[in-house]
Chain A
Amino acid sequence: SYVLTQQSSVSVAPGKAARITCGGDNIGLKSVHWYQQRPGQAPVMVLFYDDDRPSGIPDRFSGFNSGNTATLTISRVEAGDEADYYCQVWDSSSDDWVFGGGTTLTVL
């Protein structure tokens, strides 16, 4: 089965950029989606197809996917960005929708 690996935690000062990575075998050949989950809330999609933003998601959120790593970058981090972030792909070879283990973003 396909495995996605994320850092367990990332800490960043307000106003700085946070980079959250998602590793997978040739993940650059897949479409990666990213979700934000604040404590006690349902996940919200913040990026789809690697770097597209749903309506209402600020342009501070961007993505890149190549090789074996996909990256979610949050520019000018704010206190409200503190949350768990999950990457996700569709493994078409096994019809499995796979999530990474999640990264907790802490704003210092």
Chain B
Amino acid sequence: QVTLRESGPALLRPTQTLTLTCSFSGFSLNTSDMCVSWLRQPPGKALEWLALVDWEGDEFYKTSLKTRLTISIDTSRDRVVLSMTNVNPVDTATYYCARQSDGYGHGFDSWGQGVPVTVSS
């Protein structure tokens, strides 16, 4: 059974760094074509893809946020971490991690439940 679970702080102050962890089971990032992404959804708004790491450790970022994001695979290779620097209130959203099991062009076939993050002074 594939599961993903996000964890991280519920509240941050502006300019702080957000660090989120996606813990997963039921699949391996050592498997060819396997990818894990971070996505977010501001309250009442649409889904937005942020970053992806693939089975080879290659990283991809949303262009407009590239300078603020870092995605990495934990040494255990069963967790993916996202860091976002210099947060501000517009970064308030529910953050999801999701899996693609058949390469970049496949859909996001499994999702975590999401973690709500609020940025406020």
Residues of A within 8 A of B (CB): 1, 31, 33-35, 37, 41-45, 47-49, 54, 86, 88, 90, 92, 94-102
Q: How far is the CA of A99 from the CA of B21 in the complex (A)?
A: 23
Which residues of chain B have C-beta atoms less than 8 A from A48's C-beta? 106-107, 109
Across the interface, A43 reaches (CB within 8 A) one of B37, B52, B105, B108, namely B108
Out of B49, B52, B98, B106, name the residue touching A98 (CB < 8 Å).
B49
Residue contact B105 to A90, C-beta cutoff 8 Å: yes
The reply to whether B63 and A97 contact each other, CB–CB distance below 8 Å, is: no
Chain A: CB-nearest residue to B51: A97
Q: A35-B107, A42-B112, A45-B107 given; name 20 further pairs at CB < 8 Å.
A: A31-B106, A33-B106, A33-B107, A33-B108, A35-B47, A35-B108, A42-B96, A42-B111, A42-B113, A43-B108, A43-B111, A44-B111, A48-B106, A49-B106, A49-B107, A90-B104, A94-B63, A95-B104, A99-B46, A102-B47
From the candidates B49, B96, B104, B108, name the one contacting A45 in the complex (CB within 8 A): B108
CB pair A97–B112 under 8 Å, yes or no, is no
- Chain B residues within CB distance 8 Å of chain A: 37, 46-49, 52, 60, 62-63, 96, 98, 104-109, 111-114
A-B contact pairs, 25 of them (CB 8 A): A1-B63, A31-B105, A35-B47, A35-B108, A42-B96, A42-B111, A42-B112, A42-B113, A43-B47, A43-B111, A44-B111, A45-B109, A47-B107, A48-B109, A49-B106, A86-B46, A88-B107, A88-B108, A90-B104, A94-B63, A95-B104, A96-B62, A96-B63, A97-B49, A99-B49
Closest beta carbon of chain A to B19's beta carbon, Å = 21
